[in-house]
Amino acid sequence: MDAIRTLPAEAGRRCPRKQVLARLRQLVWACVPVLLCLLPLRSHALESVSVQLSWSHQFQFAGYYVALARGHYRAEGFDVELRAGGFGSADPKDAVMLGRAEFGVTNSDLAVSRMAGKPLVALAAVLQESALVWMAQRPPGDDRTGLRAPSGKDLARLARGRVAWRGDLDRQAELVLPLDAVGVNLRQLSQSIPPDPVDQFVAGQIDLMAGYRTNELLDLKRRGHPVSVIELDRSVPGFYSEILFTSQALAERSPQRIERFRRATLRGWQEAFDDIEGTARMIQRLYATQHSVDQLVAEGREMERLSRRDDIELGHMSRSHWERVAAQQVRLGLAPADGLGRIDGLLWGPHSEPVQLLPDPMRVALTGVVAALWLTVFGLWRIAAKGRAEVERLQQAQARQGDDDLRFQFLMDVAPFPVLMFGIRDGQVSYANERAIGALGLVNGTAQWLIHDSLPALRPGGDLMQRLQSSRILRDVELERPGVGAEAAHWSLLTMRAVEYEGKPCAFAAAVDITLRKRAEIELTLLSAQRGRIIEEVEQLQAKLRDASVRDPLTGLFNRRYLDATLRRELHRAHREGRPLSLMVVDADHFKRVNDHYGHAGGDEVLRQIARVLQDSHRSEDVVCRFGGEEFVVVLPGSDLTFAAERAESLRRMVESLAIPTDGGFAHITISIGVTATWPGDDADKLFKRADAAVYEAKRSGRNRVVVFSAAAPDEAPTHLAPAGGAMSDPGLGGGT
């Protein structure tokens, strides 16, 4: 099998197989976040978290094993990895602080770390009393049965002898407190770190040994070796142990996530204590094969005893208890004097308040020095043992190199989305998997592929390539591959990262085909535009219909329906504002003769020409209507009688001068106009009644004239109109023009 099936022939000859695979392996690990961002995520995907244990696998962590085996973590949405601890492994507190694990397990020294400025939060304490104790040799001649604590004098003597412990003694208050009570300073102790302290204790080579009730003490009991256990004074608060904790940042950012994990863990512990023997068999089979089931059962029973105190619930912690523990740690010099001010926020829950902690520089420096000294001593002890293991590991890694190459090749070739790499400066494709060949339209078998032949937007020197070189990564770039011939266009969503490959800048890209989505968007846009045009046409039609309902079809003037509504409105406004309003009624003279002589078509054209004269001469506020037949009405808001009369005379003269072309020759027509104005208390009927009376008088007086109704009183009868001759008369003025 070729190392990369999709490399062009010439490119394959230029890039040796091993070099290409080695480069691609580095690029894949560098671009894993890019690839993962493009994988579709299911709504019910489990969240991966890790727990850093404080020691190797044993009953000490039974609750986590049960929660994992019985699916409690999975039910809460977690995929949990349990990382065993021990000498040479990461300290759980450091692992959580550095983000290498989300959760950890430790003892009451968590308060020391909190007071030293590390923002850690305790979630649950499995043990209400610490299992860590001092175990001393029985004095010579003491053959009493049971566990007997030595006297203070004997303890001081033993502490000046051969003492064995592991870990940081200056962080374990439950060990420092008994020594402090008899005046023993930690610097007076001579530490011994034997490979098997229990064997040497039984052999009498160790006088005082630190160990766990659940481990070393049980081992001594099984061997029948007499031992004295140093118990803490009952007035001293018990030290929590096997504490589940996390970082303050995670607790504040995801409180529901923390509660779900805590709930699943405590459920696992409850079930582990309810069935200690069954849990021990499971642990011996899956995790701690070096221990017997009896050992694990004994450890589990002792832990179950230490987890109960005053019938409180499993995992319980209280703020006041933590404060008493912290006070003891400060008094013993294990924490800085001002550390009590930082203890707030250690206990997670509704009563804990997050506090921004700042590390004490002196404490950090001292811790660094102690850690450096301890690591130096421990490192020298481990060099010889680790040397051979390191050599073997390197040999195994070299042997696995070929397998790694195949795995990376397989990962790239079968990726469920297009993956490719091309030069930023020349656009030459140096790698493309099968999905990329199909999705981007690359032609297999050619000596050279250029990415911009398929995706013009990725042309070297273009805007996208310049942005990629400056920002190093571009996400969700939408690109179109134009169609060729009958083939339709395709769209892809690319995420690209700038990398160095064979000494030249390249783009490592992964794509998602969004062609179906884009086609749907285009269809939706077209439908939306079509809908807009239809709506516009409907609105135009509705406007025409509304206009047709108030327009006269022959002349285009407003009709009587519109006049009735408008005249009432204008009259109301004139009365309200105290403004004048005049009305003209225009009637064509001898119109029946016009119809008889020129026909109905000629008559219609005469009416249209009269309407044109009235329309062309009106003001914007005037209302010109065809009232019916050969009769027209003009409403003049804001015009007094004098202005209206002059206007009417002007209209009469313009109509009189018309020569209207018809099929039977040029027609001539004259009009009679009655003019009146509003009086107080007028309504539309009264106004029309006076205007009609004026028109009647004009007709009676010979037609082709303007008659103004201007009697002194609005109730006087029309018979008072008496035009004085001429084209326009005003009986109220006593004469006409």
276-308 confidence digits (pLDDT tens): 999 999 999 999 888 899 999 999 999 999 888
Q: Are residues 166 and 314 in the same domain?
A: no
Q: Are residues 54 and 125 in the same domain?
A: yes
- Compute the Cα dihedral for 706, 711, 717, 722 and give only its sign: negative
Tens-place pLDDT, residues 79-91: 999 999 887 788 8
Q: Are residues 168 and 255 in the same domain?
A: no
Q: Which of 52-61, 68-77, 470-479, 726-735 has the lowest mean pLDDT?
A: 726-735
678 burial class (0-12, 13-18, 19+ CB within 10 angstroms)? buried
Q: Are residues 497 and 444 in the same domain?
A: yes
CATH of the domain at 425: 3.30.450.20
Q: Which of 13-17, 471-475, 586-590 has the lowest mean pLDDT?
A: 13-17
**Helix, strand, coil: what percent of the chain each, to 5?**
45, 20, 35
CATH of the domain at 205: 3.40.190.10
Q: Is residue 388 part of a domain?
A: no
Beta strands in 671-710 (DSSP E): 671-677, 706-708
CB 670 within 8 A of CB 703: yes
Domain-ending residue, one of 355, 372, 392: 355
Residue 297 three-state SS = helix
Q: Are residues 69 and 196 in the same domain?
A: no
The phi and psi torsions of 491 (rounded to 5 degrees) equal -125, 145
CATH of the domain at 619: 3.30.70.270
Q: Are residues 200 and 336 in the same domain?
A: no
Q: What is the pLDDT of residue 272?
A: 95
The better pLDDT of the pair 577, 482 is held by 577
Q: In terms of Cα–Cα distance, which of 206, 234, 199 is closest to 136? A: 206
Rounded Cα–Cα distance for residues 56 and 621 (Å): 99
Q: Is residue 393 part of a domain?
A: no
Helix axes 293-306, 276-286, angle to 10 degrees: 130
Q: What is the pLDDT of residue 398?
A: 64
Q: Is residue 337 part of a domain?
A: yes
Average pLDDT over residues 13-34: 52
Q: What is the pLDDT of residue 191?
A: 67
Q: How many domains does the chain have?
A: 5
DSSP letters along 74-136, please? Answer: HHTTEEEEEE---TTSPPHHHHHHTTS-SEEEE-THHHHHHHTT--EEEEEEEESS--EEEEE
What percent of the chain lies above the pLDDT cut of 90?
Answer: 40
Average pLDDT over residues 697-703: 95
Give the other-Cβ count within 10 Å of 298's Cβ.
Answer: 20
Q: What is the pLDDT of residue 106?
A: 94
Tens-place pLDDT, residues 38-54: 444 434 579 999 999 98
Q: What is the pLDDT of residue 502?
A: 80
Assigned token pair, 272? 């582990």
- The torsion region of residue 245 among left (phi > 0), alpha (psi -120 to 50) and beta comes to beta
470 burial class (0-12, 13-18, 19+ CB within 10 angstroms)? exposed
Domain-ending residue, one of 185, 210, 230: 230
Q: What is the pLDDT of residue 131?
A: 86
Q: Are residues 204 and 303 in the same domain?
A: no
pLDDT at 96 over 90: yes
Residue 444 CA: distances (Å) to CA of 2, 413, 513, 525, 589: 15, 15, 19, 36, 94
Q: Is residue 371 part of a domain?
A: no
pLDDT at 19 over 70: no
Residue 256: pLDDT band with limits 50, 70, 90: very high
pLDDT at 18 over 70: no
Average pLDDT over residues 626-653: 95
210: part of which helix (H) or strand (E)?
A: strand 208-212
Q: What is the pLDDT of residue 5?
A: 37
CB 612 within 8 A of CB 692: no
Mean pLDDT for all residues in the chain: 81
Residue 274 three-state SS = helix
Q: Are residues 440 and 519 in the same domain?
A: no
Q: Are residues 126 and 139 in the same domain?
A: no
Rounded Cα–Cα distance for residues 704 and 718 (Å): 19
Beta strands in 553-670 (DSSP E): 581-588, 623-628, 631-637, 660-662, 665-667
Q: Are residues 484 and 538 in the same domain?
A: no
Residue 232: pLDDT band with limits 50, 70, 90: confident
Q: Is residue 553 part of a domain?
A: no
Tens-place pLDDT, residues 97-146: 999 999 999 999 999 999 999 999 999 999 988 888 888 887 665 655 45
Q: Which of 206-210, 631-635, 636-640 has the lowest mean pLDDT?
A: 206-210
pLDDT at 645 over 50: yes
Rounded Cα–Cα distance for residues 182 and 516 (Å): 81
Q: Is residue 154 part of a domain?
A: yes
**Residue range of the domain that includes 580:** 560-736
Q: Is residue 166 part of a domain?
A: yes
Distant-in-sequence, close-in-space partners of 418: CB < 8 Å, separation ≥ 6: 432, 433, 435, 436, 438, 439, 440, 492, 509, 510, 511, 513
Active site residue ranges? 630
Query: Do β-strands 419-423 and 429-432 pair in parallel, antiparallel, or remain unpaired?
Result: antiparallel
What percent of the chain lies above the pLDDT cut of 70?
Answer: 77
Q: Is residue 203 part of a domain?
A: yes
Q: Buried (b) or exposed (e) across 509-539, using 16+ Cβ within 10 A?
A: bbbbbbeeebeeeeeeeeeeeeeeeeeeeee
The phi and psi torsions of 657 (rounded to 5 degrees) equal -85, 0
Q: Are residues 506 and 523 in the same domain?
A: no
Domain-ending residue, one of 320, 355, 390: 355
Q: What is the pLDDT of residue 127?
A: 93
- The torsion region of residue 331 among left (phi > 0), alpha (psi -120 to 50) and beta comes to alpha
pLDDT at 15 over 80: no
Q: Are residues 56 and 106 in the same domain?
A: yes
Give the other-Cβ count within 10 Å of 368's Cβ.
Answer: 10
Tens-place pLDDT, residues 425-457: 888 888 888 888 877 766 554 446 788 877 888
Residue 479: pLDDT band with limits 50, 70, 90: confident
